Structure 1
Amino acid sequence: MTTRSELPGTAESYWMATAPGTRWPGLEADVTADVVVIGAGMAGLSIAWELTRAGRGVLVLDADRVAAGVSGYTTAKLTAAHSLVYERLRHTRGKEGARQYAHSQQAAVERVASVAAELGVDCDFEGSSALTFTVDPQQRATFEAEAEAAAEAGLAADLVTETDLPFPVAAAVRVTGQAQFHPRTYLLALADDIAARGGVLHERTRVTGLSEGTPCRLTTERGTTVTANDVVVATHYPVFDRALHFARLSPRRELVVAAPLPAPAAPEHMYITDDLGKRSVRTAPLDEGRRLLIVTGESFTPGTGDGNERFLRLDAWMHEHFPVGDTAYRWAAQDNDVSDGVPLVGPFHPGARHVYVATGFGGWGMSGGAMAGQLLASTLTGAEPEWAGLYDPRRLWSTVREGATLLKQQADVAKHFVGDRLRTTHVDSVAEIAPGSGAVVRVEGRRCAVYRDEAGTAHAVSARCTHLGCLVAFNEAETAWECPCHGSRFGVDGGVLQGPAVRPLPRRTV
């Protein structure tokens, strides 16, 4: 069995490793604010910056560090070319819906470019083309239809068969006028400008409660209370379940490996394919004569399967196809897919008057987050854009179209919620757990999630996710407990690493 120490590269995101840390204070006293934005990633900071620029007083709260969550572990493509999306939208939303999607996403790409220029931030912003490709000749008709639909929606799209990848492709949809950048450098500049314009940011302040009303009230795990006129929930996966978004969202985790290669051998553009369990390719400037190749893939549901073997497969594919040096970094990214394929950005639920949400970007959170900033800032200042209805979380007219996907998602959740409990145990005793690994074991009648560190000491917490009670599973590649139902992630001490859970796994004695 492969161990974490045998995996290639440093276990860290390149974006986190090459940008400075942050030290915004935690919230230590009760406060009142105009607008509170929960979450300081691409969506949260884009929303906060747009609102601050429009003259609203903004308070940003993050459970961890600014720009250190999902946005610090992305692939960081900035594009309106979201794989094979436009032909599907043409059928499910009509030509106008596809046009609105393309217009809003392309406007988001251009917005990031203009903001980066306005702030004078050196975030390695590079114009590029985005190509979705296949190596399967039988898929050509599908790609022809996608190129036609993307062009009809207003993008500069066409079908090509020649690329600068080091292997042949059967077909590719190319969209020009896209970009790539260093997301954390960009977001830290946004945070600084928010503060310079009078906004306030607090890190390590997890929001645990929300009371809607006029005004709204938030409570935090620090015991502090925030009173606000409006609230935006931009926590990637919403941390409050009253809108039942968890029934429409499915979490997906993907792995990333990165290695240096000579600049002349680097692909000029950004690429993605659903072949081989997904492969995404881009590069970033590294140093004189070299670029960093970043490869993403091996999609899986959190809490399922062997992350170590997935990392090794992805790394082997990168080295097989590109003249790279030793793997420098490895990390993982998590995304949420909406059952009807369109993000949820707008009022939190049908009865919401002062609470808004931004979620479900399906792996395209860089353009999606910037789009959410423009949409919600306009909505909160009384100038809702024409495409707001496309993203409205209250939409009901898509239920029939998304019914099959909803049923599959909930069947998968039920399989884990019920099926995992039918197993008597995952191992028979704590003694069976090898150093450096973890397993669920029944101890004195209760299922415990037990991690044994390299010194042999056992660390035990409850195996029931504090979100909705599914049983967690151990991800050995990342040394974390993960919930396969809705994607919550916990450290070996039970602390919340990623929502929707807001409470830690209680500790147990073994």
Structure 2
Amino acid sequence: MSRLPGPGPLPPGIAESYWMATASAAPRAGPLTSDTEVDVAVVGGGIAGLSTAWELIEAGRSVAVLEADRLAAGVSGYTTAKVTALHTFVYDKLRRTRGAEAARLYARSQQEAVERVAEVAAALHVDCELERVPAFVYATDPARRPDVQAEAEAAREAGLAASYTEETGLPFPVAGAVRVEDQAQFHPRRYLLALADDIRERGGFLYERTRVTGLSEGTPCRLTTENGASVTAREVVVATHYPVFDRALLFTRLSPRRELVVAAVIPAGDDPGGMYITDEERTRSVRTAPYGEDRLLIVTGEHFTPGTGDTAERFARLAAFTTEHFPRAAILHHWAAQDNDPTDTVPLVGPFHPGAEHTYVATGFGGWGMSGGVMAGRLLTELIVGRALPSWAGLYDPRRLVSTLREAPAFLKHQATVGRHFVGDRLRTTHVDSAADIPPGGGAVVRLGGRRCAVHRHEDGTLHAVSARCTHLGCLVAFNAAERTWECPCHGSRFAVDGTVLQGPATRPLEVRAVEED
């Protein structure tokens, strides 16, 4: 009988984010156990949620933050942690699709976010390893040189301290690069936990292990949680990375992607001196962080849709890139991160939907959540408090219409991908013929009793089965052997092998199914 291959080998080192491993693991708060009332309830305890809550506390509002897991332990705990206004090739695209003024507003809002991080870190005396360094977008293919030159020109016209160069600190030649001065990198979890502590010390409420499952909009609004307790608030901010409520249909304008990360210690003399990214080779991003007398090299890339392809093989390619170009690198950590790309490039921050009066959303940061989350905190606070809005507020309004020329191609591509999984996955008779085909540590979708089930075989040989239908909108999940998770390729929900929700937009677990060895 043929069997699925077992999980492939992973890079050496700890399978955990370096940021998570080197910041306090102690919980900041317990779960919500009784009904409470505040001015503003913020759903989500990552950089967008905590930045919004902190800015609202500064503005004199009472705030509660509700986090499904641990604060700063979701996407924000697994980021590359670049705080920059240089977002790959965004400025030339914005200049062409939305005009030069939109590019200027985008640059201004993102650079202001960079400065806000530095300002807040200094005010709170946070030891978050904040460093001001240049950021680079580069290409190695000479045919891409005109693209790089156009991006440098567009970024400079947008108001950034941008220049074109063919010299970088990378240990390999580039065809061209955009360089932007005075950007930042930091330890994101230390920064965010400092924000959380300051929120609590100033009277804010923090709730961990509190998954929000319902939202009733009104005057006031009401949030319900899976343990039955509720929060009543005049205003609600949904900052869960991917919105956990579908009433705005934002899932039609967001496409999820995962990227892999390896972190390796290198001699200080091998530091390339800046933050680098290219969209070649399915993305390659390079930066360093303090590591005693050495430096920690952080390499990110191999982006892919959740639930598709061989993650172990992708890790192998990323590790090979790292050791090829940095031969003295010793890999210490590896992990994965997840982001959501908006179909028109720009994040969605503002009123939740066209009829919303007291609900707001922050999502679609496209891999640039550090600056984007801080920007969102400032913008949402101005909207809620009723102060004069920054000049760039309208750029991010989620209620903006889909533009046929600007957004429709990406929109239609995303919907075609979702449709292919939603329909195509069901046309297959099964993903494997039998649970007996699943090796220890592996998983697959198997038809059991006429129903498709997601079956995982533990290392001891025992089987565990759950429903294969994602509880968000019903797409079939797929097994990620490298991370031992079930993932939805349609909208990015992730589940543990026992069906527990790891990442939304799903809020309900996969139902447990009975399974026996064939």
* TM-score normalised by structure 1 residue count: 0.99
Give SS of 1:158's match. strand
Q: Cα distance, 1:5 vs. partner?
A: 5.7
- Tell me how far apart the structure 2 counterparts of residues 2 and 54 of structure 1 sit (CA, whole Å): 54
Matched, 1:276 2:263: no
Partner residue, 1:306:
310
Cα deviation, residue 378, structure 1: 1.1
Q: How does 1:15-414 map to 2 (within 5 A)?
A: 15-23=19-27, 24-288=29-293, 290-383=294-387, 384-396=389-401, 398-414=403-419
Deviation at 1:2, TM superposition (A): 6.7
Q: How far apart, CA to CA, are the structure 2 residues paired with 1:312 and 1:157?
A: 34
CA contact (8 A) 1:379 1:385 kept: no
3-state SS of paired residue (1:466)? coil
**Secondary structure, counterpart of 1:291 in structure 2:** strand
Question: 1:9 matched to which residue of 2?
Answer: 13
Q: Distance in 1 between matches of 2:97 and 2:280?
A: 24
Flag structure 2 segments of 5+ consecutive residues without an equivalent: none
Inter-partner Cα distance in structure 2 for 1:182 and 1:368: 16
Equivalent pair of 1:346/1:391 in contact (CA under 8 Å): yes
Match of 1:493 in 2: 498
> Quick one: distance in 1 between partners of 2:37 and 2:386?
22
What displacement does 1:22 show?
Answer: 3.3
Q: Deviations over 1:397-421 (max 9, x none)?
A: 6354211111110000000000000
Name the SS of the counterpart of 2:70 in structure 1. coil
1: CA distance, partners of 2:261 / 2:298: 7
AA paired with 1:422?
L
Question: Which of 479, 483, 501 is residue 484 of structure 2 equivalent to?
Answer: 479
- Write the distance in 2 (CA, Å) between the matches of 1:212 and 1:276: 44
The more displaced of 94-103 and 391-400 is 391-400
Residue matched to 1:423: 428
The question of 1:505 aligning with 2:510 is answered yes
What amino acid is the match of 1:164?
Answer: G
The number of aligned residues is 509
Equivalent position SS for 2:455: strand
Cα pair 2:40 2:236 within 8 Å, conserved: yes
- Distance in 2, matches of 1:162 and 1:186, equals 32
Q: Distance in 1 between matches of 2:451 and 2:39?
A: 45
Matching residue's letter, 1:430 = A
Please tell me the residue identity of whatever aligns with 1:153.
A
SS in 2 for 1:439: strand
SS at match of 1:296: strand
Q: Deviations over 1:277-304 (max 9, x none)?
A: 110000000112x111000000100000
Kept in 1, the 8 Å contact 2:6–2:439? The answer is no
Q: CA RMSD in A?
A: 0.9
Q: Deviations over 1:318-353 (max 9, x none)?
A: 000013333100000000000000000000000000
Kept in 2: contact 1:40–1:60 (CA 8 A): yes
CA 1:2–1:82: 2 relative to 1, 3 Å: farther
Q: Which amino acid aligns with 1:419?
A: G
Q: Which moved more, 1:318-327 or 1:33-42?
A: 318-327
- Is 1:468 the counterpart of 2:463? The answer is no
Q: CA deviation at 1:385?
A: 1.4
Structure 1 unpaired stretches of 5+: none
- Asked if 2 retains the 8 angstrom alpha-carbon contact of 1:265 and 1:323, the reply is no
* Deviation readout 1:184-216 (Å, 9 max, x if unpaired): 000000000001111000000000000100010
TM-score (normalised: structure 2): 0.97
